[in-house]
Structure 1
Amino acid sequence: MTEISPADDPTLLPAMPGQRLARGVTRMLSALGHAALPEFVPVGGLRVDVISISPKGEIWVVECKSCRADFIADRKWQGYLEFCDRFFWAIDADFPQDLLPEGCGLIMADSWGAELIRMGPETRLAGARRTRLLREIARVSTGRLMAVTDPMGVSGAVS
């Protein structure tokens, strides 16, 4: 019998197409030295697919779109711009790129990895907002790590 490694096990793939893209994106960002966090809520009513902190301290937001309907249904993406230094769309090879607005970064992704196609333009965050975001990213990341390593030791909500 052939043994399947965890890396090749299709049952370990996230269920939703956007989550699969986010996994490929987080792998790419990690390879670039970023600290990447999927499904982050920067403020009530907004949830970004991936937020990351670059080695230089830039905050990137990546919004993963798996199909035309997913993109058209998203009416909140412009609200994400005030929570990052650079904004990116992550899509798969079949996504109609002509739908995407100009002036954003572009990442081509799948479940296993991603490639940075176009760098997002830089729009530096204000210092107070950056400080608050960095603190919240650290708090959420620590809570998620604790939930995995010591589920009984976690107190409070983990976002």
Structure 2
Amino acid sequence: MADLPQIVDLRQSPTALRVQRGVMRFLRGQHDVCCFAEVPLANGRRADILGVGPRGEIWIVEIKSSLIDFQVDAKWHHYKEFCDRFYFAKPPELDPDIFPQDEGLIVADAHDAAILRAAKDDPLPGARRKALTLKLARLGADRIHTLMDPGEL
């Protein structure tokens, strides 16, 4: 087991990792949205969760684990150009009123989640959707390959 690749992002706090798990379980189980964690985007940003729905719709979920985490983040606006729906996700103990009222909001723990406020549907342009879908297919295949053959790369 020592030679398996690191699949948990050490930049994430334990709270953020619990929220990530709950959101991903919820999106898969309740919305048929298959999720990727830690997805690099073309603008140099990294989405905490990027999900693809059954009709190809793309959701990005930005996890905020604390008030300070939200206050120091000035980059979340840059994710919206890469998704049809944008959500913040928070742990139960974080005040929901700190988040912008016009953005989607999810509350989550390590086991489940709930949508507190639905995100607006803002469809991606076709060319961007195609490029992002291709990137996700390659990212998924590469991650599976790394798990199957960790010494190869």
Are 2:145 and 1:146 equivalent residues in the alignment? yes
Code of the aligned partner of 2:136: I
Gaps of 5+ in 2: 1-11
Q: Distance in 2 between matches of 1:23 and 1:140?
A: 19
Structure 2 counterpart of 1:28: 26
Structure 1 counterpart of 2:16: 18
Structure 1 counterpart of 2:81: 82
Task: After TM superposition, give the deviation of residue 19 of structure 1 in Å.
Answer: 1.8
Gaps of 5+ in 1: 1-13
Task: After TM superposition, give the deviation of residue 44 of structure 1 in Å.
Answer: 4.4
Q: Distance in 1 between matches of 2:42 and 2:15?
A: 24
Task: After TM superposition, give the deviation of residue 123 of structure 1 in Å.
Answer: 0.5
Code of the aligned partner of 2:16: G
Code of the aligned partner of 1:63: E
Evaluate the alpha carbon distance shift between residue 15 and residue 63 of structure 1 in structure 2; reply closer, same or farther with a 3 A threshold: closer
Q: Distance in 2 between matches of 1:97 and 1:112?
A: 19
Q: Distance in 2 between matches of 1:119 and 1:93?
A: 17
Structure 2 counterpart of 1:131: 130
Task: After TM superposition, give the deviation of residue 102 of structure 1 in Å.
Answer: 1.8
Find the structure with the greater CA-based Rg.
1
Deviations 1:102-131 (A, max 9, x none): 211111101112112222001110000000
TM-score by length of 2: 0.86
Q: Distance in 2 between matches of 1:56 and 1:126?
A: 15
Q: Which runs of at least 4 in structure 1 moved beyond 3 Å after TM superposition?
A: none
Code of the aligned partner of 2:105: L
Deviations 1:116-149 (A, max 9, x none): 2222001110000000000111111111111112
Structure 1 counterpart of 2:44: 45
Code of the aligned partner of 2:17: Q
Q: Distance in 1 between matches of 2:56 and 2:44?
A: 25
Classify the secondary structure of the residue corresponding to 1:78.
Answer: helix
Classify the secondary structure of the residue corresponding to 1:138.
Answer: helix
Code of the aligned partner of 1:18: A
Q: Distance in 1 between matches of 2:75 and 2:98?
A: 16
Structure 2 counterpart of 1:4: none
What percent identity do the matched residue pairs reach?
37
Task: After TM superposition, give the deviation of residue 15 of structure 1 in Å.
Answer: 5.6
Q: Distance in 1 between matches of 2:68 and 2:24?
A: 23
Evaluate the alpha carbon distance shift between residue 45 and residue 119 of structure 1 in structure 2; reply closer, same or farther with a 3 A threshold: same
Q: CA RMSD in A?
A: 1.4
Classify the secondary structure of the residue corresponding to 2:81.
Answer: helix
